[in-house]
Amino acid sequence: MEIARSLQNVPSSYIREILSAASDPKVISLAGGLPDPSTFPIELMRPTFEGLCDTPEVFQYGTTAGYTPLLAFLRDYLRLPESHAAVVCTGSQQGLDLVARAYINPGDKVAMEAPSYLGAMQVFGLVGANMITVSQVESGPDLLQLEQCFKTEKPKMFYAVPDFHNPTGVCWTLETRRKVAELCIQYDVAFIEDAPYRELRFSGEALPLVSSFCPEHSIVFRSFSKIASPGLRIGVVTGKAAYIEPIVKIKQGADLHSSIPMQAALLGLLKHQDFDAHLDKVKALYQSRYQTLYTALESHIPKSCAVKPVDGGMFVWVNIPECDTFELAKVLLSKGVAVVPSPVFYPDANGQPAALRLNFTNSSPEELVKAVKIFSEVIENFS
């Protein structure tokens, strides 16, 4: 049977391939975006999981928008305005898919930063979106380019990860947040704010969501994968009710609703008196891993490379001299280190600077230092 045209142009995911090679226990993997499993708050969820056996109602079909007690809790927890609604999704990845299917016709323009999140590019590619990129600088998107893009290309939406971007780790400044919101209102572009790393800030001051400056022009995705566990597969999409209604309709066709027992487990966790202490522990662990990686990079990488500090999240981005980054990643893998080469993060990688994404959350300090030494030696001798 011939596969659908929408799928014919989607290349097999490089990430999936490299992740399977990286699962070899002899490989130090800085390739994935995996949380450290020691952070999974299993003990905090144990009472709720045990209690589920006494609440048979959670094993019945539920409502598409989500488990009602969780939705009620999230309304307060996320301080949603009265006019806004929420839909619980099977990971924020499903939220992205639903938004793309609810709003994008083939050829519709979606603006995004370059580089950008691979999973978003896949989703937008599947619905035939025309992806237009705007360069990312240290403060966020290049604002002059963004305004030009809004003016001339008139995209329907601007998708972005303002907090600890995947893959670069960049966190938008307050000024950029305000300006992007202003431009979205001025040019009537919906702002799609993907915030899975927002709670993983380990230094610097927390900044408001971009959507808090344009609440009627935005949709926000949150994820519980990085602060609870990715296996729960729970994310939540919020925005004004008129934006959320079509998303609920598509979700009904996709899977009726996300798992109710898992939503109940998440609710128990979020209400647990030790949840904040759990978050503090996760952030402290990732901060120390990051510091180990960053210090090792500063002392070992060749002068021709450049790495910028980050204030949170899971990744650092290392600019390297122009080369075949796929070949470099292969050589590194053969020496026991997995990384992700920069071209996979661009809809069109032609002319983009060479870089590698390194994850620091799921390797021990010893592995991080060893990986950096191998990495630096290989780059020094690679041309």
Ligand X SMILES: Cc1ncc(COP(=O)(O)O)c(C=O)c1O
- Using CB under 6 A as the criterion, which residues of the chain lie in contact with ligand X when the complex forms? 33, 91-93, 117, 119, 161, 166, 194, 196, 223, 225, 230, 235
Least distance in Å: CB of 92 to ligand X? 4
CB of 340 to ligand X, least distance (A): 12
Cβ distance to ligand X smaller for residue 269 or 301: 269
Please, what is the minimum distance in Å from the beta carbon of residue 161 to ligand X? Answer: 5
Nearer to ligand X, 95 or 268 (CB): 95
In this complex, which beta carbon is closest to ligand X, that of residue 167 or of residue 268?
Answer: 167
Q: Please, which residue, 301 or 338, has the CB nearer to ligand X?
A: 338
Secondary structure of 91-125 in the HEC alphabet? Answer: HHHHHHHHHHHHHCCCCCEEEEEECCCHHHHHHHH
Assigned token pair, 49? 């999981």
Contacts of 114-117 with CB under 8 Å at 24 or more apart are 114/345, 114/346, 114/347, 114/352, 115/167, 115/168, 115/342, 115/345, 115/346, 115/352, 115/355, 116/159, 116/161, 116/345, 116/346, 116/347, 117/161, 117/166, 117/167, 117/194, 117/345
Minimum distance from residue 194 beta carbon to ligand X (Å) = 5
Q: Please say which residue, 48 or 225, places its beta carbon nearer to ligand X.
A: 225
**What is the torsion angle, in degrees rounded to the nearest 10, for the CA atoms of residue 329, residue 335, residue 337 and residue 342?**
-10
CB hemisphere CA count around 245 (13 angstroms): 4
The nearest distance, CB 231 to ligand X, in angstroms, is 9
Contacts of 107 (CB under 8 A, 6+ apart): 128, 129, 130
Decide whether 160 or 181 has the Cβ nearer to ligand X.
Answer: 160
Q: How far is the CB of 321 from ligand X (least distance, A)?
A: 27
